[in-house]
Amino acid sequence: MDCLPVCQRGLPKKVGIRYNEHNSNMNEATVNKTDITVRYLRSYEPIATEPLQTDNLSDSRKRGNSMKFTKMQGIGNDYVYVNCFKEKVEDPGEAAIKVSDRHFGIGSDGLILIKPSEVADFQMDMYNADGSRGAMCGNGIRCVAKYVYDYGLTDKTSVSVETASGIKYLDLTVENGKVVLVKVNMGAPILEAAKIPVVSEKEQVINEPLLVDGKEYRITGVSVGNPHAITYIDDVKGLDIEKIGPKFEFHPAFPDRVNTEFAKVLDDHTVEMRVWERGSGETLSCGTGACAVAVASILNGYVKEEEVTVKLLGGDLKIYWDREENLVYMTGPAAVVFDGEIEL
């Protein structure tokens, strides 16, 4: 029998090897004066195989249950976007959980499906990182506008998008054939407590006290297609948002849970904020949240009734509340990160 070579740093130069046959297929070599045991196959039987015939398999089986996607971000608020004119997602909630995982998935704040619409140019169907259905995302809808133009689904620079919060209208700024800025008509802000919803005896919740985790906060409630609670604090950067954010999100005052903005006024036209989004946790940016902060800051008299710059972790957004029309406009960038395909 041929000897099995043993190469190991630290072994003596002359090593005695004893072979003990255990069965017809496996041998054991024991190295003297060490605890090393080497096992190896002595013989094997070839297995007859035939090539897999794939001609009769469907495209989905040939590809596996895969999904083509584009990852995009609006000042750091990143989502995975799927062109449902071409792709089909069987279980969007489960898909959102998988793709959003930043260690085992793509990494995102959620999943947004771009679909045909019977009432607008396109439909945006969004899901949060925990798989729950989302109503509206300001950063997300800007990315939808960029996608449909940059990827050739439209050549119009003014588009309408159907969302769970109604139809939104967007104006695109194009440079060198690509969208660089998107202005979104976010519609009228909702201030009635029952419609946000916020549990309150008052019709509107503006600078009202709320006890959260044993501490009193003053909150202003605004809906911009989804519920927001805005509270003003002195130290935005030092806030332990991972601790306090869920306390707001699941507070009984908010029947549908809530997005919470922790804001600080810098001057009469600038506000900084951090956001805890329901279903996603802290994100680098939230477009509807920035709109809600601008509206709340005007209602509380903290800023002038003109364009407000809202500074978020991911960048700045320009928000304008037209009081005569009672419409909120948001302007900001959108960017493609990469395209890919993932097995679901």
Q: Which residues are catalytic?
A: 137, 286
Burial class (CB in 10 A: 0-12, 13-18, 19+), 258: buried
Distance (Å, rounded) from C-alpha 285 to C-alpha 182? 15
Distance (Å, rounded) from C-alpha 69 to C-alpha 81? 6
- Residue 30 tokens read as 């024991």
**CB contact at 8 A, 229 and 196:** no
Distance (Å, rounded) from C-alpha 4 to C-alpha 8? 13
Render the burial of 100-123: b for 16+ CB within 10 Å, e for the rest. Answer: beeeebbebbbbbbbeebeebbbb
Q: Which residues contact 27 (CB under 8 A, 6 or more apart)?
A: 1, 19, 20, 21, 39, 40, 42
Q: Which residues contact 273 (CB under 8 A, 6 or more apart)?
A: 236, 261, 262, 263, 264, 289, 290, 293, 310, 311, 312
Distance (Å, rounded) from C-alpha 248 to C-alpha 70? 32
Phi then psi for residue 289, to 5 deg, are -65, -40
Q: Which residues contact 102 (CB under 8 A, 6 or more apart)?
A: 108
Distance (Å, rounded) from C-alpha 158 to C-alpha 327? 17
Say if strands 227-232 and 66-74 run parallel, antiparallel, or are unpaired: unpaired
Distance set, CA 149 to CA 157, 170, 305, 313 (Å): 8, 12, 33, 27
Cis check for the bond before 197: say yes or no (omega within 30 of 0): yes
